């Protein structure tokens, strides 16, 4: 089946976490070619992504299999991404908003084109989980939004490549709609570029150390509570300047606590 010309998503990374089926990986590579995605990332794949089965399903997407980047974990795969949407069929997340494609995809692409000359494009990523059990809670908390594709309640599980196909189709519709309809009205508010994950993780490490020192965090619950704080800050899309403010506050509070002053 042939479609029309696609605008493409050159800055978007598509991440598969521990894919087990070579047929699925090959199908996703073909979908990337269909929708002009160039950045396929595999986290600890449990299959041979360059094997005969994957190549057969990829058809003209074989070059994407060759270029696919491998990572040991999700954190490494999205370290250079500023906006991350993770697909999941679960509905039990409390820290990260669960949205349909109509809400999550525009958020993902909001700054990809850069609304103003002073703002650099964002670096978005779409993340899909394991075929058998999806993404873990810790992995979901690394995203800014959780994407849930609406299905019948009697059978909610989608095949991995089918979920990718639906999402990329919605992504294309969203981008085409954005180029075809330019509503008149006030100019959009230009927000500063979100801080890099490296800066955000450094600030969180500083904060965790201080919060453990003063007893706000306990060793056995620190990981879970910091994961919620990480999700909050990612959802807020704070800038590098705001991260610097947070780190400055943490340093001053540590200095005061070590001096024994209020």
Upper half-sphere CA count for residue 40 (Cβ side, 13 Å): 25
pLDDT for res 170: 92
Top mean-pLDDT range of 20-29, 149-158, 232-241: 20-29
User: Residue 195 has which token pair?
Assistant: 């801080």
Computed from CA positions of residues 24, 29, 30, 32, in that sequence, does the dihedral angle turn out positive or negative?
Answer: positive
pLDDT for res 118: 43
Lowest mean pLDDT among 10-19, 94-103, 171-180, 181-190: 181-190
Residues 106, 128: Cα–Cα separation, whole Å: 18
3-class state of residue 81 by DSSP: coil
Q: What is the mean pLDDT of the chain?
A: 84
Which parts of the chain fold into alpha helices (H)? 22-34, 52-58, 62-67, 74-77, 101-109, 137-140, 160-180, 197-213, 222-236, 240-259
Task: Compute, in degrees rounded to 10, the torsion defined by CA atoms 229, 233, 234, 238.
Answer: -170
Longest dimension (CA), the chain: 71
For the entire predicted model, the pTM comes to 0.74
The better pLDDT of the pair 136, 120 is held by 136
Angle at 94 between CA 41 and CA 73, to 5 degrees: 25
Q: Are 79 and 142 in contact (CB under 8 A)?
A: no
Computed from CA positions of residues 128, 29, 68, 193, in that sequence, does the dihedral angle turn out positive or negative?
Answer: negative
How many helices (DSSP H) and strands (DSSP E) are in the chain?
Answer: 10, 7
Confidence of residue 184 (pLDDT cuts 50, 70, 90): very low
The better pLDDT of the pair 9, 104 is held by 104
């Amino acid at each position: 089946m042939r479609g029309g010309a696609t605008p493409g998503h050159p800055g978007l990374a598509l991440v598969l976490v521990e894919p087990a089926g070579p047929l699925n990986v090959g199908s996703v590579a073909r979908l990337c070619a269909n929708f002009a995605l160039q950045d396929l990332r595999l986290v600890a794949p449990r299959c041979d992504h360059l094997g005969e089965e994957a190549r057969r399903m990829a058809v003209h997407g074989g070059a994407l299999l060759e270029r696919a980047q491998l990572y040991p974990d999700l954190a490494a795969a999205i370290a250079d991404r500023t906006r991350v949407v993770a697909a999941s069929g679960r509905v039990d997340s409390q820290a990260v908003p669960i949205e349909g494609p109509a809400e999550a995809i525009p958020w993902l692409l909001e700054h990809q084109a850069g609304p103003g000359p002073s703002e650099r494009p964002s670096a978005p990523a779409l993340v899909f989980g394991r075929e058998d059990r999806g993404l873990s809670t810790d992995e979901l908390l690394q995203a800014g939004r959780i994407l849930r594709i609406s299905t019948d309640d009697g059978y909610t599980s989608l095949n991995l490549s089918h979920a990718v196909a639906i999402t990329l189709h919605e992504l294309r519709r969203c981008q085409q709609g954005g180029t075809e309809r330019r509503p008149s009205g006030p100019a959009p508010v230009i927000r500063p570029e979100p801080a890099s994950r490296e800066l955000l993780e450094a600030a969180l490490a500083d904060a965790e150390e201080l919060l453990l020192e003063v007893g706000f965090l306990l060793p056995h619950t620190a990981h879970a509570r910091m994961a919620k704080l990480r999700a909050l800050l990612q959802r807020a899309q704070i800038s590098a300047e705001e991260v610097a403010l947070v780190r400055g506050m943490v340093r001053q509070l540590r200095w005061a606590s070590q001096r024994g002053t209020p």
